[in-house]
Structure 1
Amino acid sequence: MRGVLVTGASRGIGRATAVEFARRGDRVAVHYGQNREEAEKTVAVLPGTGHVLVRGDLADPEAAQRIADVAERELGGVDVLVNNAGVAPSPANRHPLAKVSYVDWQRSWREMIDVNLLGAANLTYCVTRHLIARGAWGRIVNIGSRGAFRGEPDHPAYGATKAALHAFGQSLAVSLAPHGIAVASVAPGFIATERQAGKLAGASGEALRGQSPFGRVGTPEEVAAAVLYLASPEAAWASGTILDLNGASHLRT
């Protein structure tokens, strides 16, 4: 039985990931930023016992430390960290360079850097220092994006922060291997989460499903399955990998 901290676990990929870890007997710390009601729903559907809620704004470095400390204490140790929380592309933070004001450009970049990159980096630091202090093996899995490779023209800060998250994970895979800590990333394509339901309706949905030769988009459960493998004891040799999960909708060389 391991202690697992999943950030942004109130719904979508985070919830599906928390459920899969719990099904395998792990204790899960369900992190959320604002939506306590949805986070409580996640805890309610987790099999087993010993699961906890952890709240905190990952844009705040002090909050990242508190999140790591609370999860470490309540779970009796965090063995696996899943960096899933992030500021996702939306109409509200759309920022194509040729059309957005300089003020909105800066705001979008700052919001995404603070959470998608610095929040993950700070939390990883805090969790990893606990692992090293305990002399325990561990796993870090980052949720990146296909957009890091194919580009995000309307949300360049999102693509850039996800690319940076991938690079961050590869750097730590090298530096943390001597401590028995493996680090890997997954790069999902479009995933059918609750937040994306509107985009999947009508003509826009057909276009999104048409991006993959399978004629569909991915599911949170498929991402969760990949995370579970990368967090497993058997996946140490996959440390440093960036696993594409996009149904052949984007092939990189």
Structure 2
Amino acid sequence: MATPTMLLLLADGRFPAGAHAHSAGLEAAVAAGRVTDLTTLAEYLSGRLATAGLVAAAFAAAARGVAWSAGRSAALARLDAELDARTVSPAQRSVSRRQGRALLRAGRRIWPAVTFDDLPTAADGPHQPLVLGLVGAAAGLDPGQVATVAAHATVTGAASAAVRLLGLDPYQVQGLLVRLAATCDATAARAARAAEEPPERLPAAAAPLADIHAEAHATWEVRLFAS
């Protein structure tokens, strides 16, 4: 069982997995004029929770659910394929796998006695939510807690980037995150329940505009964030 401190450490944006280098698609949304102030940021973050947040949290919780199972390797490979199918944008798939590699490096250094070798061995690495599920298991988190970490990361990364990209008042941005806390908790709870279903029945909420923005962002020669 994870201690409250362990849960906080894993959810902390300073956890050494490179999350600070990503804006969760916000940089492209700002450039397109779709996020311009606190109000539109709130809409953006709510949309993230309902789509990418729900999917990531469900898959992370599902990976945590099979973490100690005898058929873990096959189960993780199936989850990886299902998540790939739900990630339409090649740029988004690449970002998820890059972040997965970064989190995997951190997990192996922090918990050297735990094996992560059953993760899918795609050339570009495993999807980040699957790695989070196994890292969460190593930290003693249960599937619901892992889902909470995943949902929380969906909004906090973009919120932090908004301060830099839009020059917003960090106190107001933090206040926005506080107001979204109940929605974040509800998303995590829904994801944890969904994670009990077979992989093909996990959430598949899509955000086509986010996919378009991700593809455009990947072509930029100059950018503040990797995604």
Q: Tell me, yes or no, whether TM beats 0.5.
A: no
The structure carrying a bigger strand percent of its residues is: 1
The TM-score, its normalising length taken from structure 2, stands at 0.29
Larger Rg: 1
Q: Which has the higher contact order (CA 8 A, sep 6+)?
A: 2
